Amino acid sequence: MADSQNPFEMFIRHAQDMAKSMNPALESFTPKGFEALWPTMPKEWMEFAFGNTVNKDGLDAKTRLFLTLAGLTMQGAQAESQLRVTVRHLLEAGAKKQEIAEAIAQMSMFAGIPAMTKAAQLAKEVMDEQEDDET
């Protein structure tokens, strides 16, 4: 093999080149920038859309978001934007930072320490950003 590049790196480079050729503004696109476009839903809206408003005996929005956080952590915390958005919504839904940390730590038994560490790092970024916004 003459080309010893990682196939994944080649795929990413080709995708970036294609995006730049279609729209030069995409050259500076980042998933974190996309997150800023996704609004944080108010707690009441989350409860209506994802909680137990329709199904009174069902899960509330905060519990559903914790399940989402667990699932994203189990996948190795690879969906970084989705994990950060989930943490942001958990905070809005009334979850405490300690509860979020415990949920992520619980996943270490099933997803492994590297997945837990990455999820915790991403969650901490969101929590730190929220603290900066509050001051």
The CATH number linked to 43 is: 1.20.1290.10
Number of domains, the chain: 2
Same domain? 55 vs 9: no
Q: Is pLDDT above 60 for 2? A: no
85 lies in the same domain as 19: no
- pLDDT (0 to 100) of residue 17: 78
Same domain, 88 and 126: yes
Please spell the DSSP secondary structure of 69-108, one letter per residue.
Answer: HHHHHHTTS--HHHHHHHHHHHHHTT--HHHHHHHHHHTH
Looking at the structure, do residues 52 and 116 belong to the same domain, yes or no? yes
**DSSP per residue, 14-69:** HHHHHHHHH-GGGGG--HHHHHHHSPPPPHHHHHHHHSSSSSTTS--HHHHHHHHH
Considering the domain architecture, whether residues 83 and 110 belong to the same structural domain is answered as yes
Q: Please tell me whether residues 24 and 69 are part of one structural domain.
A: no
Terminal alpha carbon distance of the chain: 56
pLDDT (tens digit per residue) in 3-54:
566 776 777 777 777 777 777 766 666 666 666 666 677 777 777 777 667 7
20: containing domain: 1-30
- Per residue in 49-92, pLDDT (tens digit) is 776 677 778 888 899 999 999 999 999 988 888 999 999 999 99
